[in-house]
Amino acid sequence: MSLPPQIVLLFGRPGVGKFTVGKALAEELGFRLLHNHAVVDLVLALFPFGSEPFVRLREQLWLLAVKTALEAGVEGVVVTFAPESTVTDEFLPALQEVIRGGGGSLRLVELRCDPAEVERRLADSSRATFGKLRDVEQYRRLNAAGVFSRPVMPAACIVLDTTHVEPLDTAAKISTHLR
């Protein structure tokens, strides 16, 4: 009997290494990678960040991408996700329903990192590739305003600190845990 397709929701604050770890994890598991900015950047081409049409379309695209992958028989997808206040409270239950309806299994993996290291990483030029947040002062303002505290995430099956761990090692730990 084969295992149901896995959707791995790799989540955490900006700068914890979601894209880098996600890319390595997807490669190790033979899964596809749907990274946050693949969707965000597409929607930004049409609507300002946080606007009602932006929020609606971004969530519809995430859900449709996962649903279509499951319907196509994709073995697994690593989805990187940054919880922040423009994500509606309805999104995660809707994602869980799409995955259940498609016969898949949702695995939540949280990445964390020391705040000083997050700030150091935010300034890295590699973050410009996908238009990621790079302004440390803006990050501090957003953090102080509680922007990263919503939506409330369900408990992860594994939580890893990436502060002093190489992305490939983090991916290997996740892979071992998921198997």
Domain count, the chain: 1
Tell whether 1 is covered by a domain. no
Q: Tell me the residue range of the domain where 83 lies.
A: 6-178
Residue 133 belongs to some domain of the structure? yes
Structure tokens at 34: 């749907």
Q: Which residues contact 41 (CB under 8 A, 6 or more apart)?
A: 130, 131
Per-residue pLDDT in tens (0 to 9) along the chain, 179 residues: 567 899 999 999 999 999 999 999 999 999 999 999 999 999 999 999 999 999 999 999 999 999 999 999 999 999 999 999 999 999 999 999 999 999 999 999 999 999 999 999 998 888 888 888 898 999 999 999 999 999 999 999 999 999 999 999 999 999 999 98
Rounded Cα distance between 12 and 76, Å, is: 20
Q: 66 in a domain, yes or no?
A: yes
- The answer to the question of residue 104 being in a domain is yes
